[in-house]
Structure 1
């Protein structure tokens, strides 16, 4: 086509809002369906050639490729297969899957992996197994366990076919890490056993999967080191670290962490580097090393610099733990809730860890009523080990009989808790024994924590901290009247807590020290004990630790019984006149209201609400929310002349498809499948966008009344769906928006006093 003719056609398309100029001589289709309808009219072979041309152009011009999402490039490559080498398409699909995973768009990642697997030939089982492993992981992480199990079974079959022991080990360890430690699956148990016997050469079945996983991880690390494959080595080091995580393995874990950090740097893998930093921070906390505070700041800086949601999630969880440790309780609550909102799709066990951090915060504050409410809310399946936290809450509250029943029912530590909570179990064992005063229980608990007296009790790789072990040893000494040892132990615990600026644990140590000094009765002890008690009462009142205030006989806020109302799942109350937040950074929405901040993935309904909040009191046409400039499309389309874009058959097919989408969306909503309803809603909105743009292009006027009604329904449906999501993640904001936003052919946010928005 000659250049003048091309420019004329482009001008017509721009005026009709079908094509958008991007500058520098570049153009893009205004809507996906315009492109789709044009492609649908092409012969299949020609369509593949066009998609291949796009891929080739983008491969030749990195500057141009920067303007396209990796998922779009992957789609072109997938549709070009037949004219494009399938291996090249697979590489683009895998790159898109990794990008989606980094954005926590795990369903999108799984779809890219499925397409890649579809293109890998059957005679390349090694490649199929590697991609299948990534696909199975994504399916488990999106809680699609049925498909995930099927995918893992296929990977295992391929590993057997290849005789690849390393692949079998990796599949076994990956599944072991994905399945809830308290609810093992039969496939996980059998696979760990098979891989263990294959590599270790043993016929006997190990007593428990955790034992086999520890032995298997040793073999996996050795194989990975020999292969000099950094990707495989990084995975194996993490698997080994997680398999052996107990207080007694600190030295080995430190070596693994340093090697993991080196692998991350060699591989230029920011996520792995942040993970290594998180594990290093946990190890420093275990040692009570004040360098952990610098390490924490470094972790947060590094994580934020990556702009990767997974890394930001690690940083927020760490910030919640450190803020709890240091007694910045309101900040801790905000960080913990923000981490949940951002990382809810990051890992299958994420909600369990989030619930544990919420519970730990209630415990340290002495808010046992709130802890009970939280335990009721999460039920038996919402925590890594519900038995242990129920029992620990009981002994903290003073219900020693309940705690003793649990303590005596556990035959040993491995029976008592999941491995990552062993430090909490040791703390609980010592605390319950001390509260009971039973000499035999005290001696058993003392022997259990003796090897760790120089360490802190740190669970879940640093995300939960239970004070220095010497504090619990001192509690045992005090329970048995060993006042000299108790004074020494509480003094050591105080020094250790002060090094970490851990005010709540310093207060616990000083309260114990005051009692021990008063009971020891040496010269000057009474005066020192009295001074300590006054000091503890003042600081406990400042921090709001009412239980500790009652224990030391404090006054002030304790005497009133008043306490800030901070529930187990909420942030701080809204300050009068404080600005609320409704912002989009290009990939994630930050929503702050009533003192709580959450993060949500992108959705069209959030864009609609953003526009309404930005024009309080104004009535905005629904068609303008559906597409900026949408009410001008009819006139623009009429100026296009007789060029045909959608013929009658295509239009009928599209409208039939629209009706089917309406029916499927309604079924999904009725079934409570919000995720599928959202996908269908997005597809329906795209279809409506394009039908509006294409209407009248062949001289056939559209019926504006019908179209206006469809627009109204679409905008209302996607705002309604967004509010349903907010009910789960930020009910206060959902309630406010329901009360102030009206929808219809025009939509409006009715401004309320005292709620300014940062947009």
Structure 2
């Protein structure tokens, strides 16, 4: 299908099929009908291109709106076909003989070349043109010709002679009605005009306004492009087309449409008749003209405009005064109906500009509409109507602020409520202060409370003594307890939470008790009270019936507690119930949690693409909600995904944007240390771990984040090989072996505590490591957590390989990558010659290997290429080494460990280069020396391989830098006894020996060499 034609594939296919019949010698006819701008000309023009490609001659004739010579469209077509017959200027002269000549010439022309004749806009054809049509149709079966006619199809635009001619077309003719484009095709057409970055939402707006009419779609898109914003104006070209159509209506029909335009796009006929001061039957009679003109539709008891643009043009054509009078009459009429929509009434009064009492009545009905929308959780509509109401009223502003918060306008809503609270405090209005502060967190339960805003808590605490012992006071005390958590590390928040629950139960108010229990769950968060929180959340569910905010809060608290207990099936039930309640309402404040939880479960099950999609959705909804918590949970899920897939670059990004600003906060130390270590910032990670070990774990608040923080700290200890931290975290986590580590409100599931304990036990060489990992494996399998099952199985495999010994490693080739396991952490690196060299060295610890062996057999060595380094280079190297000695001493004096390490690396490199460049007696070594040339190549590729490993596994990278020595002989010399299992391909082992064995084997090799016997491998 030609690129310029959108959404007409079926119609073009139908026309192309007719060409097949023509090629069999049977002429065909087709009628393409539709509204103005619907795409008739574009469609037949695209078809004409297809016909030309198939060898057809294409002839066009167009019926103009202005007066022209008789037979004008036929004249154009015949001229294009090369016919010499001249049609008479007097349509009554010699018609029979002229038509006969036309027939002969048409037969001859089409016999030579098949033809397509296109007659456009037949609804404008004059009498002679219409008279020739039946004659041509009679000839058509004998011609190798396809005749395509286009015409409009509404009674206003099609004159009766043309309509009669169209009705008289043979039944064998193919009729192709064109309707509006669907949403997808409309979007494609808008994209053609605006480019690839077109907003889908804008394309949907265009479709709704135009009904998919291609001409109108393009006009609106061009209008939008010219102004750079979404405009509600009607483009001039569209207005002119519709005004011409409207001008052909009878005056009564136009007047009814004008009245209907005031009521809206979809109008009740009884209301329309009452507003027009007539009867429904009379309205239907008058509307018949508009329906025939395809400007309106009648369906049962309702009338609809053909599309929004028709209503817009009719409405804008009314004078300001007439519009205002009609709006006032509509408002009064609707206000008197029993089931009147207060929002509609308010809008009509609001548009009755200048009419008596209209403004006051608009505010009255706007407040009714706002409160009705609030009750039905239509918070965005509520905000709109509250803004129409009387904002001088403090109660109205209080309700507006509450609706803004719930609609996702957190910052604006809290500003509104803060102003109300401060004003009420100045007047001594304690209840209003309490209501305003509670609303700042999303209602009495507090779905999203800004705990950093101490002003809220202080303001609320100042009025609590002035409140009677009622439900409001219970909710206020509970919120004060919640607000004290960041600053009061003692029992104060817990005592207040207990007091709030007692107060609420004494009042017998279900909402108050549910709100108090919600805060109680937050205050008593942490691993010591999981079972109590499950019970409290379930009681909330029973109490919160009818209150959506409290019900959702109860489900959120229950989901988290169930996840911590590993009860994933029950948690999934609650997640599904939460989603069913939230998603239809499109409330961003609550909705962002759904993709977070779905993403967490997808990641557990190994559905990585789904998890990534959920992250994007949660990000979008969190931004719409203006939520502080959403980005944190997006980070948690994203970091877990990056950790699972080993994408170090993403982990670095998370560290830089999220954890770095919080380094020093005991609660953040664990995640910070782990992600820093995994992303290569080993020194920073080690500094955090050592500080936390020195200061102890008591500084970490034992709240919702404690288990996660300590577990991450233990994981960091594993990456860094810090046994002291491993012992500290193992002891702290041991009482909670049956729980699961959950990030925040379910941002990520990091696994059962048993997994963390099992890894720590393996690192420390404790005998319970296997039992702990077995328990973790069973828990992960029961939960269907495939990624965690794989992780646990790896830990068990490593444990089995080392037989609980602390020093072990695995280097195994998997096609184009190598799997490297060290100290309980498995990473993957790409295959390279350097990694293969490492595999050979690690398989033979403390056994020197010649660089020629590493270079491979059969190597062809070239001639001597001169000295490795010339005299000038050697002098420069020595000078730089003297500078480095001074710089290194200065760095060590200042305790600048990072700079010192960099200087040592450069110093070692230059020293090795000089050593490699000099032979016996300090003489320059030849670059052509095959051993020397291999030494440089092997050293460089081993160094590159170690650098790659260091990027994904810093602890192993550091170990290899300290243990691998390169030169003419390369050797792996670990400080401790290490066992490596190295395998180059499936089933091809490079060796599996410990460094203790290799000490002995190395000595035996030395003895055999001394005796002149060949050394064994």
Question: Which category of TM-score, normalised to the shorter sequence, fits these structures?
Answer: 0.5 to 0.7
Q: Deviations over 1:647-683 (max 9, x none)?
A: xxxxxxxxxxxxxxxxxxxxxxxxxxxxxxxxxxxxx
Structure 1 unmatched runs, 5+:
523-528, 562-759
Q: 2: CA distance between counterparts of 1:232 and 1:72? A: 35
Cα deviation for residue 430 of structure 1 reads 1.8
Q: Distance in 2 between matches of 1:134 and 1:386?
A: 32
Distance (Å, rounded) in 1 between the aligned partners of 2:699 and 2:331: 58
Matches of residues 406-485 of structure 1 in structure 2 within 5 Å? 406-409=688-691, 420-436=704-720, 438=722, 440-482=724-766, 484-485=767-768
- Equivalent in the alignment of 2:462: 194
Matched, 1:256 2:522: no
Contact 1:73 1:92 in 2 (8 A): no
Change (3 A) 1:229 1:2: same
User: Are 1:155 and 2:155 an aligned pair?
Assistant: no
1-structure distance, mates of 2:484, 2:388: 38
Q: Distance in 2 between matches of 1:445 and 1:235?
A: 35
- CA distance 1:552–1:355, shift in 2 (3 Å): closer
SS at the partner of 1:345? Answer: helix
Question: Does the CA contact (< 8 Å) of 1:316 and 1:339 recur in 2?
Answer: yes
Pick aligned residue for 1:92 from 354, 369, 384: 369
* Alpha-carbon distance in 1 for matches of 2:572, 2:748: 18
**What is the aligned partner in structure 1 of residue 798 from structure 2?**
515
Q: Is the 8 A contact 1:435 1:479 kept in 2?
A: no
* 1:578-609 deviation digits (Å, cap 9, x = unpaired): xxxxxxxxxxxxxxxxxxxxxxxxxxxxxxxx
Secondary structure of 2:609's counterpart equals helix
Q: Distance in 2 between matches of 1:553 and 1:143?
A: 42
1:255-294 matches, cutoff 5 A = 255-264=535-544, 266-267=545-546, 269=548, 273=551, 275-292=553-570
- Relative to 1, partners in 2 of residues 1:171 and 1:455: Cα closer, same or farther, differing over 3 Å? same
Q: Aligned pair in 2 of structure 1 residues 11, 222: CA closer, same or farther (>3 Å)? A: farther
Q: Kindly indicate whether residue 661 of structure 2 is the aligned counterpart of residue 394 of structure 1.
A: no
Moved more, 446-455 or 464-473: 446-455
- Whether the 8 Å CA contact 1:470–1:489 is kept in 2: the answer is yes
Distance (Å, rounded) in 2 between the aligned partners of 1:297 and 1:137 = 23
Residue 330 of structure 1 corresponds to 609
**Which SS does the other structure have where 2:750 is aligned?**
strand
For residues 359 and 73 of structure 1, do their structure 2 counterparts lie closer, same or farther at Cα, with a shift above 3 Å needed? Answer: farther
1:362 aligns with 2:642: yes
Aligned to 1:462, what secondary structure does the other structure show? coil
Structure with larger RCO (C-alpha < 8 A, sep 6+): 1
SS at match of 2:567: coil
Q: CA deviation at 1:333?
A: 1.3
Does residue 578 of structure 2 align to residue 295 of structure 1? no
Per-residue CA distance 1:36-77 (angstroms, 9 max, x = gap): 8869426979855532422443x437xxx6xxxx86566357
Using the alignment, how far apart are the partners of 1:521 and 1:414 within structure 2?
30
| 2-structure distance, mates of 1:286, 1:219 | 26
Does the Cα contact within 8 Å between 2:755 and 2:773 map onto a contact in 1? yes
1:490 counterpart residue number:
773
CA contact (8 A) 2:652 2:679 kept: no
Kindly indicate whether the alpha-carbon contact (under 8 Å) linking 1:277 and 1:295 is maintained by their aligned counterparts in 2: no
TM-score, scaled relative to structure 2: 0.43
**Could you say if the C-alpha distance between residues 449 and 366 of structure 1 is closer, same or farther in structure 2, counting changes exceeding 3 Å?**
same
Q: How many Å apart are 1:492 and its aligned residue?
A: 1.5
Partners in 1 of 2:440 and 2:300 — Cα distance? 52
Is the partner of 2:428 in helix, strand or coil? helix
Match of 1:499 among 762, 776, 782: 782
Partner of 1:605: none
Secondary structure of 2:754's match? helix
Native 8 Å contact 2:349 2:361 kept in 1:
yes
Task: Provide Cα deviations, 1:251-289, integer angstroms capped at 9, x if missing partner.
Answer: 23212211222234x3174x6545544433332221123
Q: Distance in 2 between matches of 1:381 and 1:17?
A: 63
Residue-pair matches, total: 523
Structure 1 residues 228-264: Cα deviation after superposition (integer angstroms, max 9, x where no partner): 5555555444444344433333123212211222234
Q: Is the CA contact (8 Å cut-off) linking 1:388 and 1:416 kept in structure 2?
A: no
**Matches of 2:512 and 2:324 in 1, distance apart?**
40
Find the aligned partners of 2:723 and 2:442 in 1 and give their Cα distance: 44
Partner of 1:134: 402
- Does 2:389 align with 1:111? no
**C-alpha distance in 2 between matches for 1:548 and 1:71:** 66
The whole-number CA distance in structure 2 between the counterparts of 1:15 and 1:332 is 53
Max Rg structure: 2
Q: 1:340 to 1:133 in 2, by over 3 A?
A: same
Q: CA deviation at 1:425?
A: 0.9
What is the alpha-carbon distance in structure 1 between the residues aligned to residue 316 and residue 502 of structure 2?
51
Q: Give CA-to-partner distance per residue, 1:434-467, whole Å, 9 cap, x none.
A: 4555565344323432332210011222221111
User: How has the CA–CA distance of structure 1 residues 309 and 114 changed in structure 2, closer, same or farther, with 3 Å as cutoff?
Assistant: closer
* C-alpha separation in 2, matches of 1:213 and 1:128: 33
> What pairs with 1:26-175 in structure 2 (closer than 5 Å)?
26=303, 31=311, 40-41=320-321, 47-48=327-328, 50-57=330-337, 59-60=338-339, 72=344, 75-76=347-348, 89-97=366-374, 101=378, 105=380, 109-116=382-389, 118=391, 121=393, 127-128=395-396, 131-135=399-403, 137-138=405-406, 141-142=408-409, 144-145=411-412, 148-155=414-421, 157-158=423-424, 161-164=428-431, 167=435, 170-171=438-439, 174=442
Q: Deviations over 1:309-340 (max 9, x none)?
A: 55764433221101111222222112222333
TM-score (norm 1): 0.56
Distance 1:169 1:377 in 2: 31
The residue number in structure 2 matching 1:404 is 686
Whether the aligned pair in 2 keeps the contact of 1:336 and 1:354 (CA below 8 Å) is yes
1:161 counterpart SS class: coil
**In structure 2, what is the equivalent of residue 751 of structure 1?**
none
User: More deviation in 329-338 or 4-13?
Assistant: 4-13
Larger proportion of helix: 1
| In structure 2, C-alpha distance between the alignment counterparts of 1:179 and 1:369, rounded to whole Å | 33
Distance 1:426 1:388, change over 3 A: closer
User: Displacement, 1:469?
Assistant: 1.3
Change (3 A) 1:151 1:23: same
Instruction: Give the Cα separation in 1 of the matches to 2:645 and 2:533.
Output: 31
* Alpha-carbon contact 1:497-1:506 (below 8 Å) kept: yes
Structure 1 residues 173, 96: CA separation in 2 closer, same or farther (over 3 Å shift)?
closer
Alignment root-mean-square deviation, CA: 5.0
Q: Is the 8 A contact 1:246 1:419 kept in 2?
A: yes
Specify every segment of 5 or more residues in structure 2 that has no aligned partner in the other structure, as ranges: 1-276, 352-356, 467-472, 833-1017
